[in-house]
Amino acid sequence: MSFIETLKAAWSAQDSLACVGLDPDLSRLPAHLPRTPAGVLEFNRAIIDATHDLVCAYKPQIAYFAAISAEQQLLATIEHIRKVCPRVPVILDAKRGDIGCTAEQYAIEAFERYGADAVTINPYMGRDSAEPFLRYADRGVLLLCRTSNSGAADLQDLMVEGQPLYERVAMLVAQQWNVHGNCALVFGATWPAQMARVRALVGDMPFLVPGVGAQGGDIESMVRAGQTANGTGLIINSSRGILYASSGRDFAAAARGEAIKLRDTINRSRHRS
């Protein structure tokens, strides 16, 4: 199955649009865990064990592993997801982007080394920089469109012929880059009105939506703005709000509680077909 098919099956089977972001920050691990790569792996496994029936995807953020030389633990985290919930897709959050021959190497990193179902990439270098990822037709390619941070406005909101740059990105992706039907967009939860416009531009293309929870995006207005006609279309990610719900020995149970809350809050605003 392709990423998009796996994702649709997970939306349905799990009855969830929630995604847990695995951003294991050493300084925020529960106090009883060692602040080492081994501690990170133990933490991730416990979070996955506690949430695997609640999510449509996991999103490991490679930066947190790279900063502590934990490539092996990233691999082992993904292996654990495969073992516990083989039908839940893994989105490697890497935001890569480079000229073609270098992008080929990044595609190998994401799709072959780590075996990710999908990867986030940066569109600034244009179509030929995305092509080596897009060629993996069974994998997903999630292009940054409108991000959730305040500085996003610096470039993404600049007006190009009466239209903000992020809308141009959305249209380029939908009309030109999506020849294999494996594209998705990254769209921050903090901009529901803008998300509704982009939804109208790109049809049913999935959106990965960071920025709920710690970043403060309002879930209900965002789900109403971004869902497709059948009440899906969104991969709504929370990282810190779930991972660090408790710093005690009950961290996994607390994470499960937050993940249930996220799933249910989302589901209350979904169209039901």
Quote the least distance from Cβ 33 to a copy of itself, whole Å.
Answer: 18
In the numeric block, the tokens 């947190």 are attached to: 64
Where does this chain bind a copy of itself (CB under 8 A)? 23, 25, 61, 63-64, 66-67, 69, 71, 93, 95-103, 105-106, 108-109, 112-113, 122-131, 144, 147-156, 158-161, 165, 168-169, 172, 210, 215
Quote the least distance from Cβ 273 to a copy of itself, whole Å.
Answer: 34
| Cβ(56)–Cβ(19) below 8 Å | yes
Residue nearer to a copy of itself on the CB measure, 12 or 149: 149
For the annotated catalytic residues, the residue numbers are: 95
Residue nearer to a copy of itself on the CB measure, 11 or 65: 65
Report d(CA 177, CA 196) in Å as an integer.
21
Percent helix, strand and coil across the chain, each rounded to 5? 50, 15, 35
Residue nearer to a copy of itself on the CB measure, 169 or 255: 169
Of 122, 144, 148, 145, the closest CA to residue 213 belongs to: 148
Radius of gyration, alpha carbons of the chain: 18
Residues with Cβ within 8 Å of 56's Cβ and at least 6 positions away in sequence, in order, are 7, 10, 11, 14, 16, 17, 18, 19, 88, 89, 235
Quote the least distance from Cβ 124 to a copy of itself, whole Å.
Answer: 4
Quote the least distance from Cβ 240 to a copy of itself, whole Å.
Answer: 8
22 SS3 class? strand
Residue nearer to a copy of itself on the CB measure, 63 or 253: 63
